[in-house]
Amino acid sequence: MQQESRDIEKRYQDFITEVVETETVWGLTHEDTWATSSSYEFEDTEVILFWSDKAGAAACAEDDWAEYEPESISLVEFLENWCVGMYGDELLLGANWNTDLTGKEVEPLVIALEIINELKEHGKSLEFTQYDSQEEFEEQVIEALEGGEE
């Protein structure tokens, strides 16, 4: 079990590193529906799954998702639209789940902040469309997270 936990954490960290590197996030879609799973941790909570590469997404396109295709979105769109929207909808994010459909479930704004921190670590800055700057996006995410903890 400890090895599995380490593997899940490594795949999660790889997700953050790789999406910052490529500025692309992958999901599985079929007719405008994105692949989701029920949360293992929270009852009545959906998890939308994302991968850091096309191959990881494609590997999970089986069984219920056999007709799903990998689809890419820009990192900016992922942060601005997906992470913020999923937070508002009280959904969780699954990053780099494997074909057994196991992986880390994360609050969308938590992963958004981790991605922003990784961008800063690498001296990268994204051109946001709905925020004046990456810094403004970061400030709003922190504010929302702090507000949610009260």
Q: Is the pLDDT confidence value at 123 over 90?
A: yes
Is the model's pLDDT at 149 over the cut of 70? Answer: no
Q: What are phi and psi for residue 46, nearest 5 degrees?
A: -95, 150
Comparing CA positions, the residue from 19, 121, 5 lying closest to residue 73 is 19
pLDDT at 5: 86
Q: How far apart are the first and last CA of the chain?
A: 33
User: Domain range for residue 70?
Assistant: 2-148
For 106-117, write each residue's pLDDT tens digit: 999 999 999 999
78 neighbors 23 (Cβ within 8 angstroms): no
Q: What is the distance between the alpha carbons of residues 56 and 47, in angstroms, rounded to a whole number?
A: 17
Provide the H-helix boundaries in 1-96: 2-22, 54-59, 75-77, 84-88
Domain total in the chain: 1
pLDDT score at 150: 44
* pLDDT over 60 (residue 1): no
Q: What is the pTM of this model?
A: 0.92
